[in-house]
Structure 1
Amino acid sequence: MRIARFIGGLLTGLTALVLVVALFVFWFDFATGLAAASGLGALGYVFLWMAFGLNLLLWTILGLLRLAEDGARSVFRRGPERRGSRTAVRGREHEKVLVGAGGPVEIAGSDTTSGDEGGALAAPDSSGGLAPRDPDDITIAVIIPAHNEEPVIDTAISSALGLFPRWDVYVVSDSSKDATADIAAKTGVNVLELLTNRGKAGAIEAVIEEFSLTDHYDGVLILDADTELDAGYVEGAKRQLADPSVAAVAGFVVSEWKPRERSLVGRIISAYRDRLYFMLQYFMRFGQTWKRANVSFIVPGFASVYRSSALEKITVNPPGLVIEDFNMTFEVHHKRLGRVSMNPDTKAYSQDPFTFRDYRKQVGRWTLGFWQTIRRHRLWPGLFCLCLVLYVIEVVLVSLMFLFTVALAAFVLLGTFAGDLLSGVPFFTDSFTAVTALLPLTALAIGLLVPDYILTCVMTMVRRRPSYLFYGLFFFPIRVVDAYLSLRMIPKAWTARSDGRWSSPVRVSGKGR
């Protein structure tokens, strides 16, 4: 069976590689010829490369430089031997309180004490962060904010308990109407139940304050209720937090791939997200989190760790924002609390939307949160804001160009198949003739579809999932929705106020990835 899978994966990778090379050569030859014929010159080439993303290309190059530097450092650096992992777990000085459906219950006798290892108790270095220390000595609390997460909360808790003692896991049920709090309480972890719906940011703020987490831990992991941690997550997070300049460790999101549990639409969404996450993290965020750059715009809220000394200075729940993670990231940069670190060794598996309605709502909320955060923080002098401006310009221009090109393609398609019926419409025939003379239907189709499918072939090669070659045929409409929402949420961010309250999507239970 393993041999068959290996051969199947190898053939899938080779097929996808051939498609990538063939499609790129075809697209590049066609596109450059079209740019030259249109008389746009260098400007035409810029617009052509925007099909793949200028920011993506820039940060890919910087990511390769980071990779080269890290590789050279690992070769020439001779560090001390790593100490063996400890079998004894150090305890906490404070007692834990379980606040569940049956009321407060003390968890007797902490046989553990954190002493001076807590975030607020450790001695700061000259930069205001923690002094370098052994990663094994770093303590981390796990926060799981949840609202009506009965189908998945047990899986998230089990994932956390596989890596953390139960007294280090804190579930906050934000006015859940289902059995979320009861299920969490039965696992023996700490549970805080809120009677008023405060939203995710409000729930995080409440549980940190209730248990004084930043006083007793070096870091706080915020874990979504639909997320499972990889076995190596804690080791990777602690290794990154051992650097005193790191204020936050960004989780490395991987789309949960369970095709048998999904409809066709759900599988298309999951495959599309897998491609998006891979491209953004390996080809963009890896370069942005290089310590010589430090301009990452997002520490994703699904599974990321904040150093306690930095978290104490972050305004987690300002009024008017629909989500918290963009704002918390901007706070790190704006208040100069340290740098954002990201490596692929902090993987966590996230459940993507199962329906297109939930997908549209989620992307709309994320996009609105991004623009709201820009509204709140505005701009300040520095490399972060310079890179942010360049990114925003590209997002707006590409979205406008993308939607305009789609509208143009729809116009040409309409004229091609229904031109005779519309010949009486004023200016239609002349407009159709002018547009097709410059951009025929084949040019629009190749310009829009081929670059997108090349990215799908790359992802098929990486993941070795031949089904992506089929699902990738349906990614284009999702990109249209993404572009529309990117623009639609700009005015809404300045006109609409949000309370951050939850809206529960469709969930599917089941353990494992």
Structure 2
Amino acid sequence: MRTARFIGDQVAGLLAFAVTATVFVLWLRYGFGAAGGPGPLFLWLSVGMNLLAWTLIGLVRLGDDSLRALARPSGGAAAAASRTGPGATGGGDGGAGGAAPLSLAVVIPAHNEEPVIDGAIASALRLFPRWDIYVVSDSSHDSTADIAAETGVNVLELLNNRGKAGALEAVIEEFDLTGTYDGVVILDADTELHAGYVEGVRAQLRDPAVAAVAGFVVAEWKPHERTVVGRLISAYRDRLYWMLQYLLRYGQTWRRTSVPFIVPGFASTYRSSALKKIDINPSGLVIEDFNMTFEVHRKRLGRISMHPGTKAYSQDPFTLADYVSQVRRWTLGFWQTVRRHGVWPGLFWFALFFYILEVVLVAVLLLAAVGFAVLLLLPDATGGLVLRWGVYEGGYDAVTAVLPLTAVAVGLFVPDYLLTCVLAAVRRRPGYLVYGLFFLPVRVIDAYLTLRTIPQAWTVGSNGRWTSPNRAAARL
């Protein structure tokens, strides 16, 4: 069975690589030749300069980390600390010189998470003692609190729905977690930790300058448990996470940069000394993780660290409606946080400015390209009737003279699909080659929500309360 699986993985990888190489060569010939050279524009729309710049910085970080690892002594207290298993004394950081390990509390805020809460707790129990795990049920109407109580972990039930940020604030204050522990791990109720998560956190918190450790999100891939739409969302998210973390955030969390825009709330760890100074639950924000990250940067509480070894698994939305709702919350939360904190001098805002600029420009141009495509398709769809309208005919002729429909279709779709082919080769999942055909429409949805939520950040009030999406009881 293992031999067959190995052969299957290799064949899948070779297939995806062959498709990638073929499509890339054909697109280069078209994009830089017959179409008059729009290739660079479309390539920018698909990849972006920020991704390229931070990828290069990430390569520098990779070399720097490798050299530091070679120079680091292999024996002594540091090696002993890295061998210390999570569990006793909170599974924390074994410091150098025989210092006591850092104690860690695990907080799991939950609201009506009956299908998945047991999986999250079981995952945490594999790495932490039960007395260091705290579940806060935020006015749940199902059996979330009862399931948590049966496991023997600490449970706090809130009568009023305060939202995730309010629940975090309540449980930290109720049990004085920042006064009792050296660090606090925050998990979503649908998160499961990789076996190496605590070891990865321990290694990063060994640096006293680190204020927070960002978890490395891995999208679940269980196609037999999802509908076609659910598989499409999961595959799309896998590509998105891979690009953002390996090509963007890895460079942003280098010790000489430390400018990530978010410590994802699904699995994050904060040093207690920094968490005490963070305003976790300010009014008017729909989500908390962007704000907590900006607080770390704004108050200069320390640097943010991330490493691919600190993995955790997250369950993505199962329906398009839940996906749209989640992305809207994320983008709205980002713009609300930008509004709340404003601009301040420093490397963080220097990087953030160019990121925002590119995100907005790409969203505008992507939606404009879709508009052009509709403009060019309408004559065929209406049998040429729209061309009898003089204004439309003039616009149609002007657009087709500069950017024919084939250029829009090929220029937008192929670079985007190439990224999917690369991931299919890396992941050895040939199914991505099929789902990737529909990723561009999902990107259009993301672009629309990005622009739609900008004015809402200044006009829509938010109380932070959550409505749980559809969950699957089957876990990773």
Paired residues of 2:95 and 2:102 also in contact (CA < 8 A) = no
The farther-off stretch of 461-470 and 17-26 is 17-26
Paired residues of 1:135 and 1:241 also in contact (CA < 8 A) = no
Aligned length: 473
> 1:360 aligns to what?
324
> 2:202 aligns to what?
238
Structure 1, gaps ≥5 residues long = 39-43, 93-113, 119-129
Q: CA deviation at 1:413?
A: 1.4
Amino acid at match of 2:108: I
Query: In the TM superposition, what are the counterparts of 1:448-459 in structure 2 within 5 Å?
Result: 448-459=412-423
Paired residues of 2:109 and 2:167 also in contact (CA < 8 A) = yes
> 2:69 aligns to what?
74
Query: Closer, same or farther in 2 for the Cα pair 1:32/1:169, shift >3 Å?
Result: same
Q: CA deviation at 1:305?
A: 0.2
> 1:282 aligns to what?
246
> 1:29 aligns to what?
29
Paired residues of 1:173 and 1:181 also in contact (CA < 8 A) = yes
Q: Distance in 2 between matches of 1:207 and 1:35?
A: 59
Q: 1:11 and 2:11 equivalent?
A: yes
Amino acid at match of 1:68: G
Q: CA deviation at 1:21?
A: 2.0
1:177 pairs, out of 106, 123, 141, with: 141
Paired residues of 2:35 and 2:407 also in contact (CA < 8 A) = no
2:255 pairs, out of 270, 291, 295, with: 291
Query: Closer, same or farther in 2 for the Cα pair 1:10/1:181, shift >3 Å?
Result: same
Amino acid at match of 1:66: R
Q: 1:249 and 2:213 equivalent?
A: yes
Q: Distance in 2 between matches of 1:136 and 1:225?
A: 30
SS in structure 1 at match of 2:390? coil
Paired residues of 2:86 and 2:198 also in contact (CA < 8 A) = no
> 1:98 aligns to what?
none
1:27-65 per-residue CA deviation (whole Å, 9 max, x = no partner) reads 233223367567xxxxx8456423311111110100011
RMSD: 2.1
Q: Distance in 2 between matches of 1:86 and 1:428?
A: 71
**What TM-score, normalized by structure 1, do the two folds share?**
0.88
Query: In the TM superposition, what are the counterparts of 1:48-67 in structure 2 within 5 Å?
Result: 48-67=43-62
SS in structure 2 at match of 1:315? coil
Paired residues of 2:107 and 2:136 also in contact (CA < 8 A) = yes
Paired residues of 1:222 and 1:301 also in contact (CA < 8 A) = yes
Q: CA deviation at 1:11?
A: 1.4
2:237 pairs, out of 243, 257, 273, with: 273
SS in structure 1 at match of 2:309? coil
Q: 1:404 and 2:368 equivalent?
A: yes
Q: 1:164 and 2:128 equivalent?
A: yes
2:170 pairs, out of 203, 206, 216, with: 206
Q: 1:460 and 2:457 equivalent?
A: no
Return the structure number with greater helix share: 2
Which consecutive aligned stretches of 4+ in structure 1 deviate over 4 angstroms post-superposition?
A: 34-38, 84-92, 130-136
1:410-463 per-residue CA deviation (whole Å, 9 max, x = no partner) reads 111112343522232232222212211211111011111001100110110111
Paired residues of 2:105 and 2:181 also in contact (CA < 8 A) = yes
Query: Closer, same or farther in 2 for the Cα pair 1:384/1:88, shift >3 Å?
Result: closer
Query: Closer, same or farther in 2 for the Cα pair 1:471/1:46, shift >3 Å?
Result: closer
Q: CA deviation at 1:216?
A: 1.2
1:172-202 per-residue CA deviation (whole Å, 9 max, x = no partner) reads 0000011110110010000000001100000
Q: CA deviation at 1:89?
A: 6.0
Query: In the TM superposition, what are the counterparts of 1:179-198 in structure 2 within 5 Å?
Result: 179-198=143-162
1:263-302 per-residue CA deviation (whole Å, 9 max, x = no partner) reads 0000100000011000100000000000111110000000
SS in structure 2 at match of 1:137? coil
Q: CA deviation at 1:170?
A: 0.1
Paired residues of 2:107 and 2:168 also in contact (CA < 8 A) = yes
**What TM-score, normalized by structure 2, do the two folds share?**
0.95
Query: Closer, same or farther in 2 for the Cα pair 1:72/1:425, shift >3 Å?
Result: same
> 2:437 aligns to what?
473
Q: Distance in 2 between matches of 1:253 and 1:157?
A: 18
The farther-off stretch of 136-145 and 417-426 is 417-426
Query: Closer, same or farther in 2 for the Cα pair 1:286/1:133, shift >3 Å?
Result: farther
SS in structure 2 at match of 1:344? strand
Q: Distance in 1 between matches of 2:352 and 2:98?
A: 35
Q: CA deviation at 1:91?
A: 5.7
Q: Percent identity?
A: 62
1:1-29 per-residue CA deviation (whole Å, 9 max, x = no partner) reads 21111111111111211222222222233
Query: Closer, same or farther in 2 for the Cα pair 1:33/1:244, shift >3 Å?
Result: same
The farther-off stretch of 166-175 and 133-142 is 133-142
Query: Closer, same or farther in 2 for the Cα pair 1:500/1:493, shift >3 Å?
Result: same
Q: Distance in 2 between matches of 1:257 and 1:138?
A: 34
Q: CA deviation at 1:78?
A: 2.5
Q: CA deviation at 1:365?
A: 0.2
Q: Distance in 1 between matches of 2:30 and 2:66?
A: 38
> 1:143 aligns to what?
107
Q: Distance in 2 between matches of 1:307 and 1:263?
A: 40
> 1:384 aligns to what?
348
Structure 2, gaps ≥5 residues long = none
SS in structure 2 at match of 1:172? strand
Q: Distance in 2 between matches of 1:467 and 1:369?
A: 33
Amino acid at match of 2:326: Q
> 1:122 aligns to what?
none
Paired residues of 1:323 and 1:500 also in contact (CA < 8 A) = yes
Query: Closer, same or farther in 2 for the Cα pair 1:87/1:460, shift >3 Å?
Result: closer
Paired residues of 2:43 and 2:415 also in contact (CA < 8 A) = no
> 1:124 aligns to what?
none
Q: Distance in 2 between matches of 1:273 and 1:250?
A: 18
Paired residues of 1:371 and 1:490 also in contact (CA < 8 A) = yes
> 1:111 aligns to what?
none
Query: Closer, same or farther in 2 for the Cα pair 1:425/1:365, shift >3 Å?
Result: same
Q: CA deviation at 1:86?
A: 5.1
